[in-house]
A = this chain, B = another copy of it.
Amino acid sequence: MTEASTPARRATIADVARLAEVSSATVSFVINDKHTMRISEATRERVWAAVRELGYRPNALAKSLSSGSSRFIGVVADAIATTPFAGQLIQGAQDEAWRHGYVLLVANTDEEKDVEAQALRMLLEHQVAGILYSTYYHREVEVPADLRNAQVVLANCYAEGSSLPCVVPDEVQGGRSATDVLLDAGHTRIAFVNSVEDAPATRGRLEGYQAALAARDVPFDEGLVLTLGSHQESGWTAAEKLLAMTEPPTAVFCYNDRVAMGLYDALRERGLRVPADMAVVGFDNQEIIAGHVRPPLTTVALPHYEIGARAVQVLLGLDTGEPSGTLRHVIACPTVTRESV
């Protein structure tokens, strides 16, 4: 118990109390603006003056300890460094968390189970109020058992048969929007270059593609659906196959922007122009590609920011405008119009 004047020591609530000549309880009430306790205006002034004079900052750790509720939200992410997606999700989560006085504790697991276990232990030991379990692409996950007794929201993923709330993108609507853009431009022979994995994205976008065609009475032609990969290379392959058809399509909906980029290259190689010779729509809205290919690519965005933000809302039990008890929160994928259609 130092008398005073240890120069480097940060001011505590006791210092403020002493200077303002009140009890530390009073200081606590004043700075937390708790109006349950009636404190005179004069006293409040004295307290705030002392706070300013000492440059007092509350110790959030002590606060959590004594109040019994922390303001941490843990985020476990499987891959924060490979795409900008995780960053967008985290940013959405952070903005929403800050809005409510919460702070993010981020843990990257690299999809390694032991790293994940370490991450969860770490988050739990820090008394997080809840955990966002997130993935960088929309997929099904197995929820680690350690999470059983924590407050959890799945972000950009889901667990079949679990009762955990999840926030996911609306792949079906996304696929439908992409197709609609092409339909709106008058196209009827529209190819869909899908990816090969069995995933919500491949299934949902195909479903949306079909729904869009059906809604306009455009017959579904199975031959116009190619099942390839998700990288640029698949765009090249797609161009080859599409152009070899007896009646080639006039428009292509690509599984993602990377495929569209490959397709662009292949078309250019053949002297074909986008959109004059072939209209193209992508998916993902990866700015680095979509914003800068020639011509800039019209695409559908994955709402990672929104997913992060919504996941925090669900975690904190805020009103999201959805019926209460909603477990599956589906976020729309907006169309981003550029010049490829």
- Residues of A at the B interface (CB closer than 8 Å) are 57-62, 64-65, 70, 80-84, 86-88, 90-91, 94, 98, 103-108, 110, 118, 121-122, 124-127, 231-233, 236, 258, 261-262, 265, 268-269, 286-289, 292-294, 305
CB-CB under 8 A for A231 and B292, given A80-B87, A105-B103, A269-B268: yes
A-B contact list, 21 entries, CB within 8 Å: A57-B121, A59-B65, A59-B125, A59-B127, A60-B122, A61-B65, A62-B65, A65-B65, A80-B91, A84-B84, A87-B87, A90-B106, A94-B108, A103-B105, A103-B122, A105-B106, A231-B292, A258-B288, A268-B268, A288-B288, A288-B289
Are B84 and A90 in contact, with the CB atoms below 8 A?
A: no
Are A98 and B127 in contact, with the CB atoms below 8 A?
A: no
Are A81 and B90 in contact, with the CB atoms below 8 A?
A: yes
- For A231, the chain B residues whose CB sits under 8 A away are 292
Q: Which of B91, B126, B232, B294 contacts A103 (CB 8 A)?
A: B126
**Interface centre among A62, A106, A305, by most B CB within 10 Å?**
A106
Nearest-neighbour CB distance to chain B for A311, whole angstroms, equals 15
Are A91 and B108 in contact, with the CB atoms below 8 A?
A: yes
Identical chains bound together, number: 2
- For A82, the chain B residues whose CB sits under 8 A away are 84, 87, 287
List the B residue with the shortest CB-CB distance to A287.
B82
- For A57, the chain B residues whose CB sits under 8 A away are 121, 124-125
List the B residue with the shortest CB-CB distance to A126.
B60
Nearest-neighbour CB distance to chain B for A286, whole angstroms, equals 7
Are A233 and B292 in contact, with the CB atoms below 8 A?
A: yes
- For A59, the chain B residues whose CB sits under 8 A away are 65, 125, 127
The distance in angstroms between the C-alpha atoms of A289 and B262, with both chains bound, is: 11
List the B residue with the shortest CB-CB distance to A79.
B87
Are B268 and A265 in contact, with the CB atoms below 8 A?
A: yes
Are B61 and A293 in contact, with the CB atoms below 8 A?
A: no
Nearest-neighbour CB distance to chain B for A52, whole angstroms, equals 14
CB-CB under 8 A for A83 and B84, given A64-B61, A108-B90, A269-B268: yes
Nearest-neighbour CB distance to chain B for A252, whole angstroms, equals 18
**Interface centre among A80, A105, A258, by most B CB within 10 Å?**
A80
- For A126, the chain B residues whose CB sits under 8 A away are 60-61, 103
The distance in angstroms between the C-alpha atoms of A106 and B93, with both chains bound, is: 11
Nearest-neighbour CB distance to chain B for A282, whole angstroms, equals 13
- For A236, the chain B residues whose CB sits under 8 A away are 294
6 A-B pairs with the lowest CB-CB distances in the bound complex, closest first: A81-B87, A232-B292, A80-B87, A60-B125, A81-B88, A81-B91
Nearest-neighbour CB distance to chain B for A297, whole angstroms, equals 12
The distance in angstroms between the C-alpha atoms of A91 and B136, with both chains bound, is: 14
Other than the known A59-B65, A84-B87, what 15 A-B pairs have Cβ atoms closer than 8 Å?
Answer: A57-B125, A60-B125, A61-B70, A80-B90, A86-B87, A90-B106, A90-B108, A94-B108, A98-B118, A98-B122, A104-B105, A104-B107, A105-B105, A231-B292, A232-B293
